[in-house]
Amino acid sequence: MAGSSFQKLVGYARPYQRDLWLGALALLLVNALGVFLPWYVKVAIDDLSTIVDRLGPSELSGQVGRVTAYAAVIAVVATVMALVRTASRMWMFGVGRQVEFDLKQQIFQHLLTLPPSYFGRQSVGELINRSTSDVENVRRLLGFAVLSMFNTVFAYGLTLPAMLALDLQLTLIALSVYPLMLVLVSLTSERLRRQQMVVQNRLGEMSELIQEDMNGIALIKVYGQEANEQREFAKRNQHLLQANLDLALTRNLLFPTLTALAGTGLLVLLLLGGPRIVAGDITLGDFAAFTLYVERLVFPTALLGFTLTAYQRGQVSIERLEAILAEDPSIRDAPNAVTLSETRGHIAARNLTFSYPEARHPTLDRVNFEMQAGQTVAIVGPIGSGKSTLANALLHLVEVEPKTLFLDDIDITRIRLHSLRQEIAYVPQESFLFGASIRDNIRYGKPATTHWDVEAAAKAARIHEEILNFPQQYDTIVGERGITLSGGQRQRVALARALLLDAPVLILDDSLSSVDNQTGQDILTNISRSTATKTVVFVSHRLTAAASADRILVLDEGRIVQTGSHRELLQDPDGLYGILWRKQQLENTLVETS
């Protein structure tokens, strides 16, 4: 295993080292008893055979008690061994389980710190795969592989001296097959590791497709692509099958070969040992004990192969898990971050520039503006002009350069993220609802809210009446296991969620695009009237909705090209706002007369 993954492994297990050592101690005891038992059998056999030689058949019946005593000791020792072995497994496998739990916690916690852009780059299927099956592999490594490693070391360390004490020549013969086993195992191990990696990657590719297709099921149906998707799935499934078969082939060739080698060793031992008993070199008891010792070593040696697989798998998994944990949460609290109190809601941008990693042009290009506390400011502009990016910048969801964006004259990169986001209620362009009740969705930001407040927010978002018509009203579950809301209903539930927060700044990113014009207008007028002290940033591609704002910023290709009130902006007929306005008026007339 690469040094760093090994260090990681030690790090995972450190909190549970007491149990690991207890487990190891128990294994040591088991192996010590395991060496004692064959020796005791030898003593018993040798003793009994002298008696048989010495006494006549009539006297032998009186010796049954002797045999029973030997058998009783053997039974007691074997029972103690079984109990102690069970204890060792519980301790060591327990450590694996604990570490599995910790890793899951750690990964989930880390995922929550990563910016939304990370999840745009990373497939969700792959992430799920890593946080389940890779974590499981680490558990097996820590539980099974470590246990087996200790066991092998103790078994060899204690059994070998006992064998040597019995007979050097027989020991060398018995062990001669083990180097062959080790060569076989080490030749196969690299191959196993590679194949394991392929299996895991293909599993990830398959989960990804399932995830994507289930999300896009309507699209698949509308475009009649079921057969195509089925073919793609079959392809990936076939790839996975092939990878699993390759892996199984390697494994299934390895272990029977190992067993056969061990069997051959025992056979040679019988062939060469038999004549030596007859010649009187060794006693019958010696030979019996010897074969028992050789048997004791077969299992740990063969297990070494399994251990190696678990080890290889675990190593791949540790690398993949560490890659997630090493992912830098690029947006995090500054060392001396401040917590806001009594935010007024004054927002300013000074030469705010932002580029997505692979974009050729900046998405926000030297943007300057000022929004007074309590104002309602509309941001309009063509699709792709950077409106949503600007909204995300205000929430520090994308990386913002220091000293370019300010809330109440405080550089937002210096504000504690949690505090900043507490002061801003935000309704994203894509309204997202959790698979929970309408009530819990609305009070998501403040779970302890009373029903009365939830209802007030729903009324302000003009969704209350419709909720009353749902089967269980506010308790109706939405999402995958509940009812499906229309786009406009989802947007209004998402709006209610934001309104409930009662934050000094409210950002709506085209949040009413699927709500009909009249209702949209009603909601906005109502919000601006009831939120005189709030700063409302209202992103819209629909200019009629923006017309009533105190001020309008017109964005084009990341730059602010015009600012002013609706009336002021219309005075420049060649300005972008004027052009967009006339175009939309024309569209509206066409819709009304058609």
How far, in Å, are 209, 238, 441 from residue 212 at the CA level? 5, 19, 24
511 binds ligand ADP per the rule CB under 6 A: no
Axis-axis angle for helices 64-113, 3-13 (nearest 10): 100
Query: Judged by CB, which is closer to Mg ion: 129, or 388?
Result: 388
Please give the Cα distance from 337 to 328 (Å, whole number): 18
The listed partner (ligand ADP, Mg ion, none) that binds 356, CB under 5 to 8 Å by sort, is ligand ADP
359 binds ligand ADP per the rule CB under 6 A: yes
How far, in Å, are 56, 208, 293 from residue 45 at the CA level? 18, 64, 15
**H or E element in which residue 453 lies:** helix 451-460
* 356, 482, 521, 559: residue in contact with ligand ADP (rule CB under 6 A): 356
Closest approach, Cβ 577 to Mg ion, in A, equals 18
* 129, 315, 343, 363: residue in contact with ligand ADP (rule CB under 6 A): 363
Closest approach, Cβ 476 to ligand ADP, in A, equals 31
431 binds ligand ADP per the rule CB under 6 A: no
427 neighbors 494 (Cβ within 8 angstroms): yes
How far, in Å, are 337, 516, 544 from residue 417 at the CA level? 8, 35, 34
Closest approach, Cβ 456 to ligand ADP, in A, equals 30
385 binds ligand ADP per the rule CB under 6 A: yes
Query: Judged by CB, which is closer to ligand ADP: 389, or 535?
Result: 389
The listed partner (ligand ADP, Mg ion, none) that binds 389, CB under 5 to 8 Å by sort, is ligand ADP
Q: In this chain, which stretch among 106-114, 312-320, 329-337, 384-392 interacts with ligand ADP, using CB under 6 A? A: 384-392
Residue 356 per-residue DSSP state: -
Q: How many CB atoms lie within 10 A of CB 42?
A: 22
Residue 532 per-residue DSSP state: T
439 binds ligand ADP per the rule CB under 6 A: no
Closest approach, Cβ 231 to Mg ion, in A, equals 35
Query: Judged by CB, which is closer to ligand ADP: 116, or 573?
Result: 116
C-alpha torsion angle, residues 83, 88, 93, 94 (rounded to 10): 90
Angle at 284 between CA 279 and CA 289, to 5 degrees: 130
461 neighbors 498 (Cβ within 8 angstroms): no
Contact mark string toward ligand ADP, 300..319, x via CB under 6 A? --------------------
* 131, 312, 389, 449: residue in contact with ligand ADP (rule CB under 6 A): 389
Query: Judged by CB, which is closer to Mg ion: 343, or 431?
Result: 431
Q: In this chain, which stretch among 81-89, 218-226, 272-280, 383-391 interacts with ligand ADP, using CB under 6 A? A: 383-391
152 neighbors 26 (Cβ within 8 angstroms): no
Binding residue count for ligand ADP, defined by CB under 6 A: 13
387 binds ligand ADP per the rule CB under 6 A: yes
Query: Judged by CB, which is closer to Mg ion: 20, or 391?
Result: 391
- 535-539, strands of its sheet edge to edge: 424-427, 505-509, 535-539, 376-380, 551-556, 559-564
> Which residue, among 524, 571, 584, 556, has the nearest Cα to 376 in the 3D structure?
524
Closest approach, Cβ 122 to ligand ADP, in A, equals 13
Subset of residues 99 to 128 that bind ligand ADP, contact rule: CB under 6 A: 117, 120
531 binds ligand ADP per the rule CB under 6 A: no
Q: Which residues bind Mg ion (CB under 5 A)?
A: 387-388, 429
Please give the Cα distance from 555 to 538 (Å, whole number): 13
Please give the Cα distance from 130 to 122 (Å, whole number): 12
Query: Judged by CB, which is closer to ligand ADP: 148, or 392?
Result: 392
Q: Read out DSSP for 93-115?
A: HHHHHHHHHHHHHHHHHHHHHS-
Q: Read out DSSP for 568-582?
A: HHHT-TTSHHHHHHH
* 23, 34, 115, 386: residue in contact with ligand ADP (rule CB under 6 A): 386
Q: In this chain, which stretch among 31-39, 164-172, 173-181, 377-385 interacts with ligand ADP, using CB under 6 A? A: 377-385
Which two three-digit tokens encode residue 337? 């971050």
Query: Judged by CB, which is closer to Mg ion: 301, or 363?
Result: 363
Query: Judged by CB, which is closer to ligand ADP: 276, or 541?
Result: 541
The listed partner (ligand ADP, Mg ion, none) that binds 359, CB under 5 to 8 Å by sort, is ligand ADP
Which two three-digit tokens encode residue 481? 């296991």
383 binds ligand ADP per the rule CB under 6 A: yes
Closest approach, Cβ 506 to Mg ion, in A, equals 17
* 15, 263, 384, 435: residue in contact with ligand ADP (rule CB under 6 A): 384
Which two three-digit tokens encode residue 484? 């499906």
> Which residue, among 150, 27, 143, 147, has the nearest Cα to 95 in the 3D structure?
143
151 binds ligand ADP per the rule CB under 6 A: no
Q: In this chain, which stretch among 241-249, 316-324, 380-388, 567-575 interacts with ligand ADP, using CB under 6 A? A: 380-388
Residue ranges binding ligand ADP (CB under 6 A): 117, 120, 356, 359, 363, 381, 383-389
